[in-house]
Structure 1
Amino acid sequence: MDRKQGIVLAAFDRIAEKGFEGLRLREVARAVGVDHSTLHHHFATKEDLIAAVVDHATGQFWRSGEQADDLGSHLERLGRMIVERPALFRVLRELDLRAARDPAVREMVDGYEDGWRRALGGRTEASNVELVIALVKGVSLRPDIAPTVLRELERLISA
């Protein structure tokens, strides 16, 4: 792992653990074992680092090599990810909360949601895609029940 990626992962971990309010660049630098000025060599601003965290978090949905063929398989995969990567969903919730107050983060989140819409749009009605996005973003699904809740959502949408 290169230094830049290490910085992104450390920032991701801080956001997952402490939220945006707990994201301190000096702590991120310390976690990676670099000087604060070295962090700024890779990321000129905190917003640049946040953008890299957004790319890292949202990229996990597309880098796994799995593409959902239909809504049911998409929701099944999403349920597995909630169970296997709870920190990812804590970070995504933090990003969404921050987006309500920060136009730059809102733009990043909008781009991520547009990708979600494109991924499902050809196979799923637009209103159902919006329902999935609203549910996943608006509710904190506990990992132990997420797969069941998402299966039920798919059943309701398909009915």
Structure 2
Amino acid sequence: MGDRRQELIEAAFRCLAAKGFEGLRLREVAREVGIDHSTLHHHFPTKNDLIAAVVQYTTRQLHAPGTTLGDYLDMLAVAMREQPELFVVLREIDLRSLRDPEIRATIERVEEGWRGALAMRIAPEHVALVIAAAKGLTLIPDDPAVVLAHLRELIEGA
């Protein structure tokens, strides 16, 4: 049962990456996994439950406990270059959260964890800067490593 749930999460992730939030159809996700649409609801009672699981799945791939700020920013740069779909999905969900309070609450919970993890590495006043830079870089991903290196220099020099 756990494997089927994970398959549904990954199918929804791929759908969001390819078609955006407006193209996410539960019937299509269920069909991709080879189950009936009604069976999907045994795993995820609502679409927002599935979205919350996709957010967790996506952000878990960007979790780097115990690393320095430099290591973390390097990991982000590599992920932006090698796994751009992670950031496409997160941006889709971020945009949707502006109109959907339930999804916004999910994003806020995830970002609270992100803020906490960053606050263990850098001064609290720099946390919002790192988050804003990371989110903004996904919209202009030509060379995130250079921008993140400059950000690191700014923060570590402060």
TM-score using structure 2 length: 0.91
**Runs ≥4 in structure 1, deviation > 6 angstroms?**
none
Q: Which whole-Å deviations, capped at 9, do the CAs of 1:114-146 have from their partners, x for residues lacking one?
A: 11111121231112111010111234141x511
Write the deviation string for residues 26-70 of structure 1: whole angstroms up to 9, x where unpaired: 1111111111111112111111111111111111123xxx43532
For 1:74-93, list aligned pairs within 5 A: 74-93=72-91
Unmatched segments (≥5 aa) in structure 1:
none
Q: Distance in 2 between matches of 1:43 and 1:58?
A: 19
CA distance in 2, matches of 1:131, 1:38: 43
Residue in structure 1 matched with residue 30 of structure 2 by the alignment: 29
The corresponding residue for 2:124 is 126
TM value normalised by structure 1: 0.90
Following the alignment from structure 1 to structure 2, what is the Cα–Cα distance between the partners of residues 119 and 155?
A: 19
Deviation at 1:16, TM superposition (A): 0.7
Q: Which amino acid aligns with 1:28?
A: V
Q: Which runs of 5+ in 2 are unaligned?
A: none
2:45 is matched with: 44
Identity percentage of aligned residues: 52
Letter in 2 for 1:7: L
Query: In angstroms, what is the RMSD of aligned CA positions?
Result: 1.5
Contact 1:25 1:46 in 2 (8 A): yes
Q: Distance in 2 between matches of 1:93 and 1:102?
A: 14
Aligned length: 155
Cα deviation, residue 13, structure 1: 0.5
| Structural mapping, 1:41-80, within 5 Å | 41-62=42-63, 66-80=64-78
